[in-house]
Amino acid sequence: MTILSVCIPVSDSGRTLGPSLHSILLQDTDIEVVVLDNASSDNTGAIADSFDDPRVRLVRNEEALPVGENWNKAVSLSHGRFVKVLRSGDILLAGALDKQLEVMGDNGIALCASQFEILDERGVVEGTGLGLPGLIGSRDVRTVMRTLVRRGPAVFGPTGAAMFRRADFDRVGGFRGNLALPMDVDLFARVCAFGRFFGMPEVLAAWRDSTYRLRAEITTVAQLTELLRFQHRLGAEYPELIGRGAIFSGDLRLARAAAERVRGRAAATAMRRPQLRP
């Protein structure tokens, strides 16, 4: 039986898929890699085929699926007991899979995630030792959910920093695609209801600037709305774990972020405004 499946749902990712696959295939762990090409119009499929590695299985959708359906299909095609999902452009650092599998060997751990670093387009490290504030070590689901609501889903960093069990993925019904931005962290939070979370202090994953393009394609209002829905839905589903205080803190954080963006846009507009002559 396959122990670990690494799933990469992709769409028009020819520019970023290669480095992701390269970082995965350099790992010593026995794995399968499922690349699900969501009807790309570029050379995504050719990039996957170019690796000519028996561990890589490329599947192509003839018609594009909504992002949530595509991600769920990618995991459904896997055979591993454990699963890691990567966005195209996420990078795994040396030894990442072995170290996380060792943690997941404890059946009390439902999900583990590592700290991460940010790379620029050239692969130069812009920041390291990031993520998981207050979540290093073994933490219960109450702590995880409250932290996610108070601080926001970005505390988890790249999707590829986390590892979970396929059985737990199936139990919660997979990804919920009606929230594209925090879709992965929404899954992680629900999976944590089946055990403890372990935050690893090691830096095992990297997040390229290019992978932020999903955020860039979503308007500020839409981003804040999705994050608001994310935390209120979790609060409604797990009221005994999150509580009103955490929800209120999360709402204040989003309100401050909205106000800051309004001030930033106002300042930019003022800078572009022509000076009036007397």
* pLDDT tens digit sequence for 74-109: 999 999 999 999 998 899 999 999 999 999 999 999
Mean pLDDT, all residues of the chain: 90
Give the position of tokens 């790309």: 40
Q: Decide if 164 contacts 186 (C-beta within 8 A).
A: no
Q: Look at residue 267 in the predicted model and tell me its pLDDT.
A: 52
Query: What does the pLDDT read at residue 222?
Result: 82
**How does residue 277 score in pLDDT terms, banded at 50, 70 and 90?**
very low
Percentage, residues of the chain above pLDDT 90: 77
Residue 275 has pLDDT above 60, yes or no: no
| Its pTM surpasses 0.75 | yes
Predicted confidence at residue 187, as pLDDT, reads 97
- Domains of the chain (ranges; CATH) run 4-251 (3.90.550.10)
Q: Please, which residues have CB within 8 angstroms of residue 137's CB and are 6 or more apart in sequence?
A: 198, 199
Q: In 10 A of CB 206, how many CB atoms?
A: 28
Closest to 124 measured CA to CA, from 247, 67, 209: 209
Q: How high is the pLDDT of residue 87?
A: 93
Cα 258 from Cα 260, distance rounded (Å): 5
Q: Is 68 helix (H, G, I), strand (E, B) or coil?
A: helix
- The runs of H, that is alpha helices, within the chain are 17-25, 44-49, 67-76, 96-104, 141-151, 166-172, 183-191, 213-217, 220-237, 239-272
Q: What is the pLDDT of residue 120?
A: 87
| CB-based contact 25:33 (threshold 8 Å) | yes
**Higher per-residue confidence, 158 vs 219:** 158
Please give the pLDDT value at position 24.
Answer: 97
pLDDT value for 257: 87
Alpha helices in 131-195 (DSSP H): 141-151, 166-172, 183-191
pLDDT of residue 220 exceeding 90:
no
Cα 267 to Cα 187: distance, rounded to the nearest angstrom? 38
pLDDT of residue 208: 81
Of 266 and 31, which is predicted with more confidence? 31
